[in-house]
């Protein structure tokens, strides 16, 4: 069953982002760039964060979408909002 609640949203969205090595490296780069007030490095770090976020979103969305389709075809999928 596909269900939505605050804990699941936090785990599935923010948790994945925090586990991603590229995203964490981008955060560290951004912190250093802001401390140094280097606009080019800030831009590069933000691009790294955007790239990591897009990659996470694509992979998670594809996996969840395929799982939903397969479960729906089997008649086992339902959506529940809490």
Q: Say if residues 41 and 32 touch (Cβ distance below 8 Å).
A: yes
Q: Over its length of 82 residues, how does the chain's per-residue pLDDT go in tens digits?
A: 566 677 877 777 778 888 889 999 999 999 999 999 999 999 999 999 999 989 988 988 888 888 888 888 888 766 666 5
The predicted pLDDT at position 48 comes to: 92
The predicted pLDDT at position 1 comes to: 59
Structurally, the chain folds into a number of domains equal to 1
Domain that holds residue 46: 2-81
CA gap 58, 70 in Å, rounded:
18
The predicted pLDDT at position 11 comes to: 78
Q: Please enumerate in sequence order all residues whose Cβ is within 8 A of that of 77, keeping only pairs 6 or more positions apart, or say none.
A: 1, 2, 68, 71
Q: Say if residues 82 and 4 touch (Cβ distance below 8 Å).
A: yes
The beta strand positions in 1-82, using DSSP E, are 2-4, 79-81
């Amino acid at each position: 069953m596909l269900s939505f609640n605050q804990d699941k949203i936090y785990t599935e969205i923010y948790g994945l982002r925090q586990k991603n090595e590229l995203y964490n490296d981008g955060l560290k780069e951004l912190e250093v760039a802001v401390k140094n007030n280097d606009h080019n490095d800030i831009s590069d770090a933000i691009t790294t964060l955007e790239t990591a976020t897009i990659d996470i979103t694509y992979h998670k969305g594809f996996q969840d979408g395929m799982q939903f389709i397969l479960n729906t075809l089997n008649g086992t999928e339902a959506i529940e909002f809490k």
